[in-house]
Structure 1
Amino acid sequence: RMEIPPSRSCRWSTVYVNCSESDLSSIPTEQFPVGIQVYDLSYNNIESLPSHAFFRYSSLKELHLHHNLIFEINSQAFVGLSNLELLDLSANRLKKTKIFQPLSKLESLDLSSNTIRVLWRSVFDGLNQLKTLRISHNPISLFCADVSNMNKLQYFMAADTSLTYLPEVVRNAISRRLEMGFPFQVSLSESPIFCDCENLPFIRWMVFSKAFKFKNRRYRCSYPDSSYRDITDGYEETLKILSRQCSSNEVLFLSVGGTTLAFLSFIVISLVYRYRWKLRYMYYAAYIYLKPGNTAASDNMYEYDVFVCYAEEDRHFVMTCLYPALEARGLSVFIHHRHFTAGELIGSNIVRAVHSCRRTVVVLTRTFAESSWCNFEIQMANMESAHRGMPVLIFLLLDEMTGREMGAELLFNVQNNTYI
C-alpha cells in the first residue's frame, strides 16, 4: 500500500519510495521506512547531493536520480549504501565523478547524458561487482579509468562521446575477460574514432575483438582535417588501407630516424674527438678538485717551477744532466718517477703536475714522440696554457727529428712554443 506524506508528493511503502516528478529541489527530509529497497527521485530539480544524503537507507538496492540538475555530489553522499546494486545518474550536469567508493555491491552504473569530459584512473575504484557501465552521450575525450579489477563487467556503453580510442590497458582488460569465456559488449557507436596510423592498433583490436557488434549501429571514422566518414563494414576496409599506408610510413620513419641518428652520432663523435683533450683535462681536474684531501695549487701559487716530461729511455740524461742543471739554478723540479702519487690515476697525476708547476719542459726524442702518455702530457700542458692564458710549454730537442718523424700535431706544438 502506497502512502503520501503530508509535506511532499512522494508515494511510499515499506520497500519503495517514489518521488519522481515531484518538483523537488533537494533530497526530502522525511523519515521514510529504513528498510526501503527502491528510491526514485527522477525528473526533479535537484542540483546537489549532500554528505550522507541516504545514510539511513542501508537496505537500498536501487537509487534513481536521472533527469535532474545535479552538478555537485559530496564525496560522502553515498556513505551507508553498501547494498546498492543500481545507481542511475543519467541526464544531469555531472563533471566530477570520484564518488563511488562506498558502493561495493554496485552492479549497474548509468552516467549517460552528463557533462563529463575525463574519467581518471581511480574513478571506479572499489566497484568490483559492476556488470554494466553506461557513459554514453558525454563529451568524454579521455578514458583512463582502471577496469582491470572489474571482473564481472559485461557491458561498456560509450556511444556518442568524444572518445577516439580506448587505451591499451582497457583493451587488455576486456580481452582477458573474453579469453576467459565471459561475455562482454562494447559500444562506441557515433564516437569519432581516429582512423590514422597512430590509432591503427585500436582499429585492429576493434575489428578482431568479439566485444563489438557493428550491425545496425552507426560507427564513424574521424580524420586529421576534421572530416568524418560513416563506417558500414566494421572497419575492415579501413584496416586494410591503413595497414598498407602505415607500413610504408614505418619504413620511411625508420629510414629518416636512422639517418638522423647516424648524423647526430657523427656530430657528437666529431665534437668529442675535437675537444677530447680538453674533456680529459676537465675530467682529471675535476677528479683532483673533488677528491678528499685535495692539496692542488691555486691559480696564483705553484709548488714547483718545472715539470719535466720525458720517456723512460731518456731517464739517465734527465737525472744526470738536466735535473742537476735546473736545481743548480735554484729551480724546484717535479720528476714523475719521484713525485707522482702511488696508487693515483696516471692522468690525474699528470694534470696535478702540470697544474702545480710554472712551466712544463718536454725532453723531445724519437722515443718520446712514440709514447702515448708523453703525448698526453703535452696535451694537458696545452690545456693548462689555455686555462692560464699564457704559454707553459718549453721543448728541449734532444734528437734531430724531421717534421715527418714528429707528426703534424707534435710539429705544430713545437713551432708554437719555445724550443731549444
Structure 2
Amino acid sequence: MVENRRELERIFYNGLFENLRWLKCLDIGKNSIGTKEPIYPDEIFCHLKSLQTLKIDGISGASFGKGFRYLTKLRLLRIYNMGLVGYSSDYFENVSQITSLDLSCTLTPNNEEGCYLRRIEAGAIAKLQKLQYLDISHNLKLGFCGLRNVTYDLTKTQIKVLRARKITCPYGYRPVCNVSKVKILDISGNLRYFKGYERLHDKPQYTFDAFVSYAEDDRLFVFNEIIEGLENGKGKYLCIHHRNFIPGCDISDNITNAIHESEKIVCLITQKFLESEWCNYELNIARVEGMWSRSGKNMIIIVLMENISKNDLPIQIIELIAHQTYIDYTAYINTDIFIDMLNTAIDH
C-alpha cells in the first residue's frame, strides 16, 4: 500500500488489520492527500501487536493515539511528511518504545526546497528514551537553529547514530547543537558546527580505523584473526557488521554509516565475497565514498584471500588492485606477518 494517494478515511476502516496479528512490517506511506481525522484510528492499529516496522504518513493535525501503546514490539518508525509543519512535545508519547526514527525528507525536482517541517518542540524526542537512530536529513526549513531542541533531547535517549544531511542555518556559525552522546554523526552537505565536534571539512574525524567487509563464510577468520590481531594486538578499532551494526536500521543505512565513519575499508576478497550481493554493495559504496566525499583518497584495502584468476575478478576490483593498496594473503607464511602488513596499510 505505497503511494496510492488516497484519503485516510477511505483506507482505515474498522477491522482492516484485525487478522494480521503476526504482521512484522507495514508500509502504508505516501497514501494521504488529506484527512479530517484528529488521530490515527486506535481501533485499527491496536491489533498489530507483533509489528516491528511501521512506515506511515505524517499529517497536519494528526498524531499517534493511545492505541499505539499496544504495539510493544514496534522498533522502527518512518514518517513521510505530507504537510506536517511541526512535532509537538507529546507527539511520540505513545510510541516511546521505538529505537529507530526516520523523519527525513525526500527531495525531488518538484520539492527542491525541502519538506514542510519547521519545528520540533522541546521534549518531543526526549519521549523516545530507547532511541538509537535518528534521521532528520533534508528538512531544509528546519535548519540548524531548529535542531537545538532535537539534539538536547537526544541526551535523554540511547542515541548512537544521527543523520542530519543538508541542513543549513541563516544565522552564521553558532554551536547550538549538543551531540555529545552520538557515536556516528552524518552532517554531510552542511557548513556549520555541532558542539563537541570539529568542522568535518577541516579535519575529518572517524569513529573507526577500518570497516571490514567480508562474506559470511569468513566470519570466524575475522573474529579469530583480524579482530584478535588488529584490535587486541595493534590497538585498532574496527567496524564489524556482526558486532557494530545497529539493530532496527536498514542494512543499507548501516553500511553507508559504517563506511562514512571508517578511515579505511578492508575487503576480504574470496569467491563467496564475489557472489555476495551485500559484499559487492559495500565495495561500491566505498568506491563512491572515496571518489566524492574524500576527493579520490586511497581508502580501500583489497585483501586477496584465495588464488582467484584475474579473469574471474570484476573490473572494479582489478582497477583497485592496479591503483590502490592490496595484499595477497596467500603469499604470507603465517598470520602474524599478514596482520603486520594489514596494520601498516591501515595506518598509511
What TM-score bracket applies, with the shorter chain setting the length?
0.3 to 0.5
Tell which structure's C-alpha radius of gyration is larger. Answer: 1
Q: Which has the higher contact order (CA 8 A, sep 6+)?
A: 2
TM-score between both structures, scaled by the size of structure 1: 0.38
